[in-house]
A and B are shown apart, each in its own frame.
Chain A
Amino acid sequence: MSDRTISFTLNGEAVSAQIAPHHTLVEVLRNEFALYGARESCGQGLCGCCTVIVDGTAVSGCLYLAAFVDGAEVTTVEHLDAGGKLDPVQEAFIEQGAFQCGFCTPGFILMSKQLLDCYPNPDDEQIKHYLSGNLCRCAAYPEIIQAVKSAAKKRQASRA
């Protein structure tokens, strides 16, 4: 198994990286690009701490092999405030106190953003269903639900 070079779009920039076939997306983001927002925790794709957006869809970066992002568009949590302004979801998480230790937070924020892209005005059941694949050991769930609702309002207000 030899190393290979992959090229992809990372947070809007064209990049390439030398990888081994067994390298996961999270490893490559950390080791090659110093992006630490996606982080391996359970290592089984169950907790969502490693969430990365690949071609518009959230994936578990701890299981997703880096080789698969060759030619793809990859977005990490670090890109959300690229313009210097926080995303409404990030603002809402801060205002609602929707995290404690913060380790799982980037994953929740990326999933919440994707949820709002699909359902701009989600009810509690939709929020719970959509975020049931993300875990928070500090259990900030009630605040997260509030934050998603608040973010939905912010997004609607900014569009109006």
Chain B
Amino acid sequence: MATTPLSGGQIGRSLPRLEAREKVSGRAEYTHNLRLPGMLHGKIFRSTVAHGRIKSIDTSAAKKLPGVYRVVTSDDVLKVIPKPYYGPAFHDQPILAIDKVRFVGEPVAVVLAADPHVAEEAVQLITAEYEELPAVYDEIEAMTSKVHVHDELKPAGAFADLKHLTGRKGTNVALDFKLRRGDVDKAFAEAAHVFEHTFRTQKVLHLAFEPFVSIADTKPSGVTIYTSSQGPSFVRVEIARLLGVPENKVRIRVPYVGGGYGSKLYIKLEALVTALSLIARRPVKIALTMEEQFYQITRHPCTFRIKSGLDKDARIIARKCEVFWNGGAYADVGPRVTQKSGFTASGPYDIENVHVDSYALYTNVTPSGALRGFGIPQLVWSYESHTDMMARALKLDPVEFRRKNLLHEGRPQATGTLVKDANVAAILDRLVARLNWGKPFDRGAGPVKRGRGLAIAIKAVIAPTTSVAVLNVTADGSVILYCGTVDMGQGSDTAMAQIVGEVLNMPAESVRVTPRDTDITPYDMGTLGSRSLFHMGHAVRLAAEEARAKIAALAREVGEPEGSNVPVAELFKKKYGMQAGNIIGTGSYKPDYTSPQPGTGLTPNVAPFWMVAGAGAEVEVDTETGKVVVARLINIVDCGKPVNPKIVETQISGATLMQLGFTMFEKMHIDGGQVTNASLADYKIPGILDVPAVMENETIESYQSNGPFGAKGVGETATFCASPAIANAIDDAVGVRITELPLNAEAVYRALRAKQNKPLEDE
């Protein structure tokens, strides 16, 4: 598709963020800061058992505490919202637990009080009795367990590929995605070498520093919700459905968001605060603590069984992937993660015969959702560890082995869609160059051994999704952009302003981007999956182009000659006789897409663009302690043409450092369904001392042919490859292979001892 030629000089500018001054002076608006007159604070009483029937809830002592306004349970919720089940993929999550609890930490009751300390104290006075039921925690056990988290599956109806699950009983499988390409059985039979490995990833979470917070203010005319959300449009649709009202009775307002990373997608606290405000007939705010975030949403733990068949020349001719996603007690967007990541589970390789089974599973732990990659980092961890293990077993150079099997431009990917603008070969070349691959390498001295490794990856962007934008040229010529993309730190407001500036030939910093407000900002599917710059970028571009055409028409109308450069304010003045009027431009974008065939997952058009990435790592492993130091971390990504190179670089760097935490130490410890390290004191995240001494971030020369000004998204790309690159480097250094994250000192030391035939006892 042709896009507007460059004119305004705004694309490619490393413009500081539009909101920078607000953020450095502590004045940026966050929902966290907001108070409404007459507002009550809600504090949540949570389940202490992983699976159980609620026998009784005693709220009498809490109600008696002075200052408590009301204590709310599901009985109260059912009076105002008769069907209080929500979720993007399944309508499975109750606003407050009804009859049963399904994970430790599930909301059971809420205390409302004007003083949050009173509400907090009163929560301690609530008691509940449960008839405990057997629980299932592990994704593999959940496949065959007699314990069923839900009695019956309740798909939401929005997704065609979930409809067949309606009413299904006696299962924990919330989606079984299948991809079938070629004939894997035949290919395995013909293979010269067959390798099979199993990898696991742990439960980790987003931990945004602005913890989940929502405020609802219900009035007879409708409800206004102020919320730290990545998807105001979805929240509006879902709240309207729950309340049985039209969308125009629901208003969602989102200021800046203090971190999201996928956690604040779809619907989280919004349904609960709406119900509470309806019950209390006052505004209600719920602000979670850092501890409570461990009971809201996490990344999916995953078990990945991968099997490859190679011919005698080490060409991969068959690959079988069985991926089991631990979805927790409620589906959230897990079935999407299961399907969408399933498209590329076989990796950036050209393989004729591919068999993918990807299962979303219910278990009795905190629900899992999207976390900066929609499942791709878990898959890449597995398939790129597998790639190196095969190369090592066959005594092949890992780079040459990858080159031999690379998925090249124009070749069909596993879904059958031809790969375009996804130059994974160039990424591998840049890694090789930066790592000096093939040249002598310092292997360390004494007990500290050095090694290096690399990994490459591909992702198909989530499709199909829609973005709409509106642009307002005011009477003095200044421009306001209304778009629903949420700026949670990725710099989208700035990038969108640059697109407007490019089309209208004005400095991006003069463009105002309104805070998100569904009464004003039009529909957007959500700020997720690195989709915004491409989809909303196109919508914004189209809106600006329409406004530009209307400005030209206005110039003609008031008698200006074609091509004259009269300021817009003059045109308005000529038409209206004073500073008055507006020009409104609108843009709407939805890419072409062909649904995958049920049963085979094949489609000629799985996604409008591909994200490709590579990482290289150099590590130092202390063989006496197992401690690993990542000395050098290289990230190469393809983001098309960077709209704002500085912001792109911070996205690459930030994403890979976040993934470094998930790789090296982050892990939710769960004992009998209970999270035992639910605080920043016990759950370590990367700090400034964890930054590798050398970090190199690079975007390859690229132009996304169907992207706005050649651009595409990059928010997630640098999360894909860090984990396997580091694991491959550890193997290179000390000859041990770790197949489960995190790669902490204990895991490495255990592996070293096992290799010496002196294994440590289990914990």
A residues within 8 Å of B by Cβ?
22, 30, 35-39, 41-44, 46-47, 49, 76-78, 80-81, 86, 90, 93-95, 97, 99-106, 109, 127-128, 131-132, 134-145
Complex contacts, B32 vs chain A, CB 8 Å: 36, 39, 103
- Say how far A24's CB is from chain B's closest CB, in angstroms: 10
Write out, one digit per residue, whether chain B residues 687-698 have a CB within 8 A of any chain A CB (1) or not (0): 111010001000
Most A CB atoms within 10 A — which of B26, B259, B261? B26
Complex contacts, A38 vs chain B, CB 8 Å: 26
Instruction: Say which residue of B16, B21, B654, B691 sits within 8 Å of A100 (CB atoms).
Output: B654
B residues within 8 Å of A by Cβ?
14, 16-17, 19-28, 30, 32-33, 117, 206-211, 256-261, 289-291, 488-491, 646-647, 649-650, 653-654, 657-658, 679-681, 685-689, 691, 695
Cα separation A101 to B259 with both chains bound (whole Å): 5
Instruction: Say which residue of A35, A80, A101, A134 sits within 8 Å of B489 (CB atoms).
Output: A101
Mostly, the A contact residues are loop
Let me know if A97 and B290 touch, CB within 8 A: no
Complex contacts, A35 vs chain B, CB 8 Å: 26
- Say how far B629's CB is from chain A's closest CB, in angstroms: 14
Let me know if B688 and A90 touch, CB within 8 A: no
Let me know if A100 and B24 touch, CB within 8 A: no
Chain A to chain B: the 5 pairs with minimum beta-carbon distance, closest first? A37-B26, A100-B489, A101-B489, A102-B23, A103-B258
Let me know if A104 and B209 touch, CB within 8 A: yes
Complex contacts, A134 vs chain B, CB 8 Å: 687-688
Cα separation A55 to B27 with both chains bound (whole Å): 23
Complex contacts, B260 vs chain A, CB 8 Å: 101
Let me know if B654 and A138 touch, CB within 8 A: yes
Complex contacts, B689 vs chain A, CB 8 Å: 128, 132
Cα separation A43 to B289 with both chains bound (whole Å): 7
Let me know if B16 and A95 touch, CB within 8 A: yes
Given known contacts A78-B25, A93-B24, A102-B19, what 9 new A-B pairs fall within 8 Å (CB)? A36-B26, A37-B27, A42-B681, A44-B679, A77-B24, A97-B646, A102-B22, A109-B24, A143-B650
Complex contacts, A49 vs chain B, CB 8 Å: 209
Task: Give 8 A-B contacts (CB < 8 Å), ordered by A residue.
Answer: A39-B33, A42-B680, A76-B26, A100-B654, A101-B208, A132-B689, A135-B209, A137-B206
- Say how far B460's CB is from chain A's closest CB, in angstroms: 25
Complex contacts, B14 vs chain A, CB 8 Å: 97
Cα separation A77 to B689 with both chains bound (whole Å): 24
Cα separation A90 to B27 with both chains bound (whole Å): 13
Let me know if A94 and B21 touch, CB within 8 A: yes
Instruction: Say which residue of A90, A94, A103 sits within 8 Å of B30 (CB atoms).
Output: A103
Cα separation A27 to B379 with both chains bound (whole Å): 43
Complex contacts, B695 vs chain A, CB 8 Å: 142
Let me know if A42 and B290 touch, CB within 8 A: yes
Beta-carbon nearest neighbor of B261 in chain A: A137
Complex contacts, B685 vs chain A, CB 8 Å: 135, 137
Instruction: Say which residue of A43, A109, A127, A139 sits within 8 Å of B654 (CB atoms).
Output: A139
- Say how far A156's CB is from chain B's closest CB, in angstroms: 20
Let me know if B23 and A105 touch, CB within 8 A: yes
Let me know if B20 and A94 touch, CB within 8 A: yes
Let me know if A100 and B491 touch, CB within 8 A: yes
Let me know if B687 and A135 touch, CB within 8 A: yes
- Say how far B621's CB is from chain A's closest CB, in angstroms: 22
Cα separation A103 to B259 with both chains bound (whole Å): 8
Let me know if A36 and B27 touch, CB within 8 A: yes
If A37-B26, A94-B21, A137-B209 touch, whether A102 touches B687 (CB-CB below 8 Å) is: no
Cα separation A137 to B259 with both chains bound (whole Å): 8
- Say how far A143's CB is from chain B's closest CB, in angstroms: 6
Beta-carbon nearest neighbor of B29 in chain A: A36
Most A CB atoms within 10 A — which of B22, B207, B490, B654? B654
Most A CB atoms within 10 A — which of B260, B646, B691? B691
Complex contacts, B30 vs chain A, CB 8 Å: 36, 39, 103
Cα separation A32 to B28 with both chains bound (whole Å): 18
Cα separation A99 to B653 with both chains bound (whole Å): 12
Complex contacts, B291 vs chain A, CB 8 Å: 43
Let me know if A99 and B491 touch, CB within 8 A: no
Instruction: Say which residue of B17, B24, B117 sits within 8 Å of A90 (CB atoms).
Output: B24
If A30-B33, A94-B24, A104-B209 touch, whether A145 touches B489 (CB-CB below 8 Å) is: no
Beta-carbon nearest neighbor of B697 in chain A: A142
- Say how far A151's CB is from chain B's closest CB, in angstroms: 11
If A36-B27, A100-B490, A103-B259 touch, whether A137 touches B653 (CB-CB below 8 Å) is: no
If A37-B25, A99-B24, A100-B654 touch, whether A128 touches B688 (CB-CB below 8 Å) is: yes
Complex contacts, B24 vs chain A, CB 8 Å: 77, 86, 90, 93-94, 99, 102, 105-106, 109
Instruction: Say which residue of B206, B289, B490, B691 sits within 8 Å of A142 (CB atoms).
Output: B691
Let me know if A80 and B25 touch, CB within 8 A: yes
Beta-carbon nearest neighbor of B256 in chain A: A102
Let me know if B259 and A97 touch, CB within 8 A: no
Let me know if A97 and B647 touch, CB within 8 A: yes
Complex contacts, B19 vs chain A, CB 8 Å: 102
Cα separation A47 to B258 with both chains bound (whole Å): 14
Complex contacts, B657 vs chain A, CB 8 Å: 139, 141
Complex contacts, A99 vs chain B, CB 8 Å: 23-24, 489
Cα separation A76 to B27 with both chains bound (whole Å): 11
- Say how far A142's CB is from chain B's closest CB, in angstroms: 6
Beta-carbon nearest neighbor of B656 in chain A: A139
- Say how far B367's CB is from chain A's closest CB, in angstroms: 20
If A100-B654, A102-B28, A144-B688 touch, whether A44 touches B681 (CB-CB below 8 Å) is: yes
Complex contacts, B33 vs chain A, CB 8 Å: 30, 36, 39
If A30-B33, A142-B695, A143-B650 touch, whether A44 touches B680 (CB-CB below 8 Å) is: yes
Let me know if A132 and B26 touch, CB within 8 A: no
Complex contacts, B653 vs chain A, CB 8 Å: 139-140, 142-143
Let me know if B257 and A101 touch, CB within 8 A: yes
Cα separation A93 to B289 with both chains bound (whole Å): 28
Beta-carbon nearest neighbor of A89 in chain B: B24
Cα separation A111 to B211 with both chains bound (whole Å): 22
- Say how far B758's CB is from chain A's closest CB, in angstroms: 35
Complex contacts, A139 vs chain B, CB 8 Å: 653-654, 657-658, 686, 691
Let me know if B27 and A101 touch, CB within 8 A: no
Let me know if B117 and A81 touch, CB within 8 A: no
Complex contacts, A141 vs chain B, CB 8 Å: 657, 686-688, 691
Let me know if A47 and B20 touch, CB within 8 A: no
Let me know if A101 and B21 touch, CB within 8 A: no
Beta-carbon nearest neighbor of B33 in chain A: A36
Complex contacts, B211 vs chain A, CB 8 Å: 41
Most B CB atoms within 10 A — which of A41, A49, A81, A139? A139
Beta-carbon nearest neighbor of A77 in chain B: B26
Beta-carbon nearest neighbor of A139 in chain B: B657
If A36-B27, A138-B654 touch, whether A46 touches B681 (CB-CB below 8 Å) is: yes
- Say how far A146's CB is from chain B's closest CB, in angstroms: 11
- Say how far B498's CB is from chain A's closest CB, in angstroms: 14
Let me know if A137 and B691 touch, CB within 8 A: no
Beta-carbon nearest neighbor of B211 in chain A: A41
Cα separation A21 to B208 with both chains bound (whole Å): 30
- Say how far B60's CB is from chain A's closest CB, in angstroms: 25
If A97-B647, A101-B259, A128-B689 touch, whether A106 touches B26 (CB-CB below 8 Å) is: yes
Cα separation A35 to B658 with both chains bound (whole Å): 30
Cα separation A127 to B688 with both chains bound (whole Å): 9
Let me know if B258 and A145 touch, CB within 8 A: no
Let me know if A137 and B17 touch, CB within 8 A: no
- Say how far B625's CB is from chain A's closest CB, in angstroms: 21
- Say how far B691's CB is from chain A's closest CB, in angstroms: 5
